[in-house]
Amino acid sequence: MEAFLRSVPADPAEEADLGETAAQSFEDFYEATFRRLFTALCLVTGNRHEAEEVAQDAFVRVLERWDRVGGLEDPTGYLFRVSMNVFRSRYRRASLGLRRALFLAPAETDDLAVVETHDAVVRLLLGLDPKQRAAVLLTSILDYSAEEAGRMLGLRASSVRSLTTRARARMKHEVVDPI
């Protein structure tokens, strides 16, 4: 207890001197490390302005804890660790905000393009033979297997596969070489 009382300044003037010494040593620390930290953050962030903001945030956090950090063997290492944590936190927050903005933004739809695409598909299907059209509808659009579509159409599965292959080739020819 006596050791504690001896370490506590009895005079308010001594207290002010202690605060000035701690603040002065932080100022010396700031002057000695700012350029190195700023340069490293410029390389990490790729942006001078963001590097400056991260450096300022890191120094503020170190200043808030300077009474403990100043007594560390390597306060520079602590400063760099804090700055990387600040950068990662800002990056996560920005990417989360971007994901939310993209997710919440309404999808851009072109109603006319949807109608045109639908119309083109219907025209292609109408240009097929009825058996081909039925085979394509059941297998490609309604996702039935060739065996299931064959049972529905009264055909073998190999015949359904053959019909869909020929139908797709014909539709591809129509799309690539329209008359």
Residues 98 and 129 in one domain: no
Residues 40 and 83: their CA atoms lie apart, in Å, by 10
Residue 35 is predicted with a pLDDT of 94
pLDDT the model gives residue 104: 67
- Res 15 pLDDT > 80: no
Mean pLDDT of the chain: 81
- CA distance to 25, 127, 148, 171, 173, per residue, from 120 (Å): 76, 11, 27, 11, 14
Answer whether residue 89 is part of any domain.
yes
- Split at pLDDT 50, 70, 90, the class of 120 is confident
Do 21 and 94 sit in the same domain of this protein?
Answer: yes
Q: Are residues 51 and 20 in the same domain?
A: yes
Same domain, 144 and 66: no
- Whether residue 131 lies inside any domain: the answer is yes
- In the chain, % helix, strand, coil (3-state, to 5) comes to 80, 0, 20
Concatenating the DSSP letter of every residue in 105-166 gives SPPP--HHHHHHHHHHHHHHHHTS-HHHHHHHIIIIIS---HHHHHHHHTS-HHHHHHHHHH
Domain of 58 in residue numbering reads as: 11-103
User: Are residues 99 and 116 located together in one domain of the fold?
Assistant: no
- For residues 91 and 106, the model is more confident at 91
- pLDDT for 111 equals 72
The pLDDT tens digits for 167-178 are 999 988 887 766
State the average pLDDT over residues 137-145.
87
What sign has the CA pseudo-torsion 33, 38, 41, 42? negative
Condensed to tens digits (0 to 9), the pLDDT of residues 31-75 reads 999 999 999 998 888 889 999 999 999 999 999 999 999 888 889
Euclidean distance between the first and the last CA atom of the chain, given in angstroms as a whole number: 101
Whether 79 and 35 have beta carbons less than 8 Å apart is answered as no
Q: How confident is the model at residue 99 (pLDDT cuts 50, 70, 90)?
A: confident
Evaluate if residue 123 carries a pLDDT over 50: yes
CATH number at residue 17: 1.10.1740
Half-sphere exposure of 19 (CA within 13 A, CB side): 6
The enclosing domain of 159 has a CATH number of 1.10.10.10
What letter would DSSP give residue 70? Answer: T
Asked if the model's pLDDT at residue 5 lies above 70, the reply is: no
- The domain tally of the chain equals 2
**CA-based nearest residue to 131, from 107, 155, 99, 100:** 155
Whether the per-residue pLDDT at 102 is higher than 80: the answer is no
pLDDT-derived band at 107, boundaries 50, 70, 90: low
Query: Are residues 164 and 136 in contact, defined by beta-carbon separation less than 8 angstroms?
Result: yes
Decide if pLDDT at 24 tops 70.
Answer: no
Q: 138 and 155 in contact (C-beta within 8 Å)? A: no
- The more confident residue out of 17 and 72 is 72
